[in-house]
Chains A and B, each alone.
Chain A
């Protein structure tokens, strides 16, 4: 496709116009549906996480929709297409992180948290943990949002037949503006509609494309694997590790650390956690995660098949020609099916995949923006500025303004960073989440002695270490594929900081809790046991158990 095959070509009766029109029509309908669904919600909690009335299937699809990002659909497919086994490892890690989420589903739902600040306050009440939660939320969501918006700009520009940075930036602004408007108007209720549609369309399109690829090889996975091996950048070593990361003193250790980062970081994203909290009871929460695990498992299998298909049909050299990454693999393999499927079916497949990618961008960007806005409005404005004085109308207004501000900031940063590597930003977000949220959540849910000091040490230590080491790594500077290829300030030899930051954050959380425990008062120890009871049997039951012990305590409002 070139410039002539864009909007202008629609007038010239080009078949591409049909694809484009279908795409636009579908997007408008999806956005209209989301805004319409969200107009009825008018309380802050409904704006942050929805009305908690959805079925397990709906919640599960929405969870899968906000979990399956362009990083999985485009980047992992590209890695499978070019280097093989490391991409399969990444896809497996994405699936395994859903397994960790299932373990956390029960306490997450029982905690009734709307934001990360609510979760942090379970063991550590006060303003400092709220501020720490807001800082973590912004540190995780900002780079993730920018990476998603950049990918959205790239894909849309490619879909329209352009490849210049200017057009990509324009597409980023348009899509970002659309998502921010949608998020401001509809909130979580409307976004749920988008996420459900995104999961369904993505799953259907990916399965359809995978079956088409398998049909080319007569359903024989062995011959697909052989062909993929032959056309990859490492013929004969397609199923060996080390294709993605082969620099530094310990590349194998870096790959293993990357796997840990994906498992822990993926599950600890604030927008994913709030999606699980949105279930109406623990059974729904668990079942939602199970359904989402099934959807993500299918998507991961199709990502691997399509990656192999891209290598076998297009070839790694063609995919990488003139580019620093292989993110175009998915669309290239869809285009390559033209001769076998027929032009009509091939165009339908291409349109379905483009819709899937676009919808997943909307779902993830919307959820990320909302999580950041909730942190700003609830954890900072409501709890710090308003001192927990309940004014839902004002809080809701602040939340909508926060969506606007955070969204605009994200769009500006994405425009500035357009053309650079999105992998670094996605990795940074994952590393910060794995190094801060993961230790705090695990200690909160499973260790009674975890306290405010441990939380603050783990959070700020984790942020400083993961952020600092990520910026000092070869992914940030010093190589042609780095985020800043023309600069070189890399001194940390490992490609991912989690090798150091995750163990250090766990250690800091433990040591801080021991130090803080010495200063703790007796009633704080009581609070810890009540918190454990709440995370075990829920608020109502824990209240019943604690009634006698807490009689006479001064009541405090939760909202």
Chain B
């Protein structure tokens, strides 16, 4: 069985014939999650570390303006979150969402999900 909905040709995931559809989906999901998580986690980790460290680096003014390091970092966090969220949504819609419907179309005789366990 093969997932019928293919991602666009310019996608970054090689279509390995030997891989099962689920492992392909898993790789794509992991890649998308990581590309969303890493920039946000870096910003958050930096802020938490700077808060926890002694000294008052976050209160340091940037170039004699009213803007401090802390405020700039939080602003960067917010912008990074909104930008990566938009990218994550679009890429998920393109690469992962089509996989939900493909096997059902390919296998019309699928049994109800209750029969496969795990959802009691």
Mark each residue of chain A from 290 to 328: 1 if its CB lies under 8 Å from any CB of chain B, else 0.
100110010010000000000000000000000000000
Distance in Å: Cβ of B97 to nearest Cβ of chain A: 6
> Which of A31-39, A201-209, A466-474, A527-535 contacts its partner?
A527-535
Task: Check A543/B112 contact, CB under 8 A, given A99-B40, A239-B59.
Answer: yes
- Kindly provide the distance from the CB of A309 to the nearest chain B CB, expressed in whole angstroms: 16
Contact A555 B114 (CB under 8 A): yes
- Which of B26, B37, B78 gathers the greatest number of chain A CB atoms within 10 Å? B78
Tell me whether B100 and A538 are in contact (CB under 8 A). yes
A237–B60 alpha-carbon span in the complex (Å): 11
Contact with B along A108-144 (1 / 0, CB 8 A): 0010100000100111011000000000000000000
In the bound complex, what is the Cα–Cα distance between A293 and B89 (angstroms)? 13
The 8 Å CB contact of A241, one of B49, B51, B86, B99, is B51
Q: Is A416 an interface residue (CB 8 A)?
A: no
Tell me whether B42 is interfacial, beta carbon within 8 Å.
no
B52-80 CB mask vs A (1 if < 8 Å, else 0) is 11101011000001101011001001100
The SS class assigned to the B binding surface is helix
Question: Which A residues are in CB contact (< 8 Å) with B99?
Answer: 536-537, 541
Are B112 and A89 in contact, with the CB atoms below 8 A?
no
A-B contact count (CB 8 A): 199
What are 8 contact pairs spanning A and B, CB under 8 A? A85-B58, A92-B47, A95-B81, A99-B40, A103-B88, A112-B119, A241-B58, A556-B117
A252-B53, A557-B114 known; 16 new pairs, CB 8 Å cut-off, are: A92-B77, A92-B78, A96-B40, A99-B85, A103-B36, A122-B118, A122-B119, A239-B58, A240-B59, A281-B97, A293-B85, A536-B26, A543-B116, A553-B115, A556-B120, A558-B119
Least CB separation from A300: chain B residue: B78
> B71, A125: Cβ atoms under 8 Å?
no
Contact of A103 among B33, B77, B96, B97 (CB under 8 A): B33
Check if A486 is an interface residue, CB within 8 A of chain B: no
Name the A residues within 8 Å of B101 (CB-CB): 540-541
Question: Is residue B19 contacting chain A, with contact meaning CB distance below 8 A?
Answer: no
Q: Is the CB of A290 within 8 A of B120?
A: no
Known pairs A240-B56, A259-B48, A544-B1; A530 contacts B100 (CB<8 A) = no
Known: A241-B56, A241-B70. A259 touches B47 (CB 8 A): yes
Contact of B97 among A102, A282, A539 (CB under 8 A): A282
A219-262 Cβ-contact flags toward B at 8 Å (1 or 0): 00110011000000000010111000000000011011001100
Bound Cα distance A412, B116 (Å) = 45
Given contacts A92-B74, A92-B77, A252-B52, contact A543 B85 (CB under 8 A): no
Q: Which residue of B lies closest to A289 (CB)?
A: B85
Chain A positions 341 through 361: 1 when the CB is less than 8 Å from some CB of chain B, otherwise 0: 000000000000000000000
7 A-B pairs with least C-beta separation: A544-B103, A222-B66, A240-B59, A538-B100, A544-B107, A256-B52, A539-B113
CB-CB contacts of A436-447 with B at 8 A, as 1s and 0s? 000000000000
State whether A550 and B104 are in contact (beta carbons under 8 Å apart), knowing that A99-B81, A543-B111 are contacts in the complex: no
Is A547's beta carbon under 8 Å from chain B? yes
Q: Decide if B48 touches A260 in the complex (CB within 8 Å).
A: yes
Known: A88-B71, A544-B104. A530 touches B118 (CB 8 A): yes
Separation in Å of the B18 CB from the closest CB of chain A? Answer: 17
B-contacting residues of A (Cβ < 8 Å)? 85, 88-89, 92, 95-96, 98-99, 102-103, 106, 110, 112, 118, 121-123, 125-126, 221-222, 225-226, 237, 239-241, 252-253, 255-256, 259-260, 263, 281-283, 286-287, 289-290, 293-294, 297, 300, 388, 523, 526-528, 530-534, 536-547, 550-551, 553, 555-558
Cβ-based interface call for B44 (8 A)? yes
> CB-nearest residue of chain B relative to A221?
B66
Query: A residues within 8 A CB of B51?
Result: 89, 241, 252, 255-256, 259
Q: B: which residues have CB within 8 A of A?
A: 1, 21-22, 25-26, 29, 33, 36-37, 40, 44, 47-49, 51-54, 56, 58-59, 65-66, 68, 70-71, 74, 77-78, 81-82, 84-86, 88-89, 92-93, 96-97, 99-104, 106-107, 109-120
Q: Select A536's contact among B29, B56, B102, B111, beta carbons within 8 Å.
A: B29
**B108's closest neighbor in chain A, by CB?**
A544
Query: Chain A contacts of B66 at CB under 8 A?
Result: 221-222, 225-226
Most buried by A among B37, B40, B103, B118: B118
Neighbouring A residues of B117 by C-beta, 8 Å: 125, 523, 526-527, 530, 550, 553, 556
Residues of B within 8 A of A527 (CB): 116-118
What is the chain B residue whose CB lies nearest that of A536?
Answer: B25
With A103-B37, A550-B111 already in contact, the answer to whether A537 and B25 are too (CB < 8 A) is yes
Complex Cα distance, B112 from A289, in Å, reads 29
Kindly identify which residue among B22, B116, B120 contacts A537, using a CB–CB cutoff of 8 Å.
Answer: B22
Report whether B53 and A286 are in contact in the complex, using a CB–CB cutoff of 8 Å: no
B40 CB to closest chain A CB (Å) equals: 6
In the bound complex, residues from chain B placing their C-beta under 8 Å from that of A239 are 58-59, 68, 70-71
Q: Knowing A88-B71, A241-B59, A545-B21, say if A540 contacts B52 (CB, 8 Å).
A: no
A95 touches B78 (CB 8 A): yes
A318: min CB distance to chain B, Å: 24
A297 to B26, CA, bound (A): 31
- Contacts A89-B74, A239-B68, A540-B110 given; indicate if A550 touches B115 (C-beta within 8 A): yes
User: Would B81 and A536 count as touching, CB distance under 8 A?
Assistant: no
The answer to whether B96 and A85 touch across the interface, beta carbons within 8 angstroms, is no
Chain B residues, CB < 8 A from A118: 119
A558 to B111 CA separation, bound complex (whole angstroms): 14
Minimal beta-carbon separation of A99 from chain B (angstroms): 5
The residues of B that contact A553 with a CB separation of less than 8 Å are 115-117
Residue of B nearest to A220 (CB): B66
Distance of B38 from chain A, by nearest CB (Å): 12
Q: Which residues of A lie under 8 Å from residue B84 when comparing CB positions?
A: 99
Tell me the smallest distance from the CB of A234 to a CB of chain B, in Å.
Answer: 11
Task: Give min CB distance, B80 to chain A, whole Å.
Answer: 9
Check A125 against B116 for contact (C-beta < 8 Å): no
Residues of B within 8 A of A536 (CB): 22, 25-26, 29, 99
